[in-house]
Amino acid sequence: MSGGIDSTVSAMLLLEQGYEVVGVTFRTYDSIKESCIAKEKGCCSIESIMEAKHNAEQMGFDHHIVDFRKTFKQCVIQNFMDEYMAGRTPNPCVLCNSHIKWGELMRVADEYGCDYIATGHYARIAERDGHVYLRTAVDTRKDQTYFLWMLTEEQLRRTIFPLGEYTKDQVREIARQHGYVKLAEKRESQEICFIPNDDYRAFLRANVPDYNERVHAGEYVDAQGNVLGHHEGYVNYTIGQRKGLGIALGHPAYVTHIDAEHNRITLGTNDDMYATELKFRPLRSRNLDISTSRLTAKVRYRSKAVEVKSTITNDQSQISSLIFSEPIWGITPGQSVVLYQDDLVVGGGIII
């Protein structure tokens, strides 16, 4: 329970369905800044933790606060820093869901004698031929399966998604009907929970021990390697970035490639941002041969799912390629590619 509307309404629905509910809120990172509290970011403020406890008490069930800060730092934050320092753009929510919100929380569930864990994610679970799959939510605008693809079948068998059949508007209405008017109107944050003020660059400067030795000015180049100018250090840029480059080329320029080893940033046009193929390291496959299945794939949360024309797997390198039926904009190393068959998640991996 984050103190937000989704987990609170999930608890309401579970109680109405007759479940015995135990509330758990976990601390993952200490970042209690004024801006954080003002934006009511549910993952980080003490106020939100206390609000979750208050909501649980109002609904009449036990609530526990558990400390996952050490594991979160070792797993999620360290990976975040390592990936950026390697010139990639990580998605910490994917790792957090797999290792913290399910991995660690499943252990806590066992300690409290709970058969299932439930969250406020917008997703569903489906069973096919004796296997359990992640299924997209009814509210396609809020569907969060992209962030949940790393969950194992064992984890899914012990998971309940109370909001999977509801739209966000319906969830807000349920909160209002139960007297949680302020909660229903609380705005959401899309920021990373442990990044103060949504400034990942400042976070890296403050937390990477050898940052100053590794990050310094370097060259902007074009696709042919011609030097165009100079940048402020490769970690300050992401694939597809157009603003804040500090260079004028007479046309809109985009970051198309980041070479961390040589501290070099490649710039190109918007057309250069499109590609029809990506390579990825598969980490999860759901009980079917993805090389022969009709698939679609998403390469970022807000992107549409694009039809996969073919898949190629190199058994020696354990690296797979996806070839798409149409060009995709801004394929980014470090991000997840999630594979779907109709509305089921059937695989995924990290783009390389």
Q: What's the distance, CA 104 to chain centroid?
A: 17
SS3 for 38?
A: helix
State the DSSP code for 197: G
CA 161/CA 164 separation, integer angstroms: 6
Residue position matching structure tokens 């509305």: 343
> 43, 75, 93, 193: which is the annotated catalytic residue?
193
The reply to whether 36 belongs to the active site is no
DSSP state of 193: T
**Alpha-carbon span 200 to 212, nearest angstrom:** 15
Would you give the DSSP letter of residue 130?
A: T
Has 96 been annotated as catalytic?
yes
Q: Identify which of 302, 289, 279, 303 has the alpha carbon closest to the alpha carbon of residue 341.
A: 289
Q: How many CA atoms lie within 13 A of 176 on its CB side?
A: 9
Q: Is 322 helix (H, G, I), strand (E, B) or coil?
A: strand
> Do the Cβ atoms of 123 and 134 come closer than 8 Å?
yes
- Given a contact cutoff of 8 angstroms between Cβ atoms, the answer to whether 306 and 326 are in contact is yes
Is 184 within 8 Å of 30 (Cβ atoms)?
A: no
**Beta-ladder partners of 60:** none
Number of neighbours of residue 266 by Cβ within 10 angstroms: 20
CA 125 → CA 128, 135, 345, distances in Å? Answer: 10, 5, 10
CB neighbours (10 Å) of residue 107?
Answer: 10
Which is the catalytic residue, given 43, 44, 96, 114?
96
d(CA 77, CA 255) in angstroms, rounded, equals 25
Point out the residues that are catalytic.
Answer: 96, 193
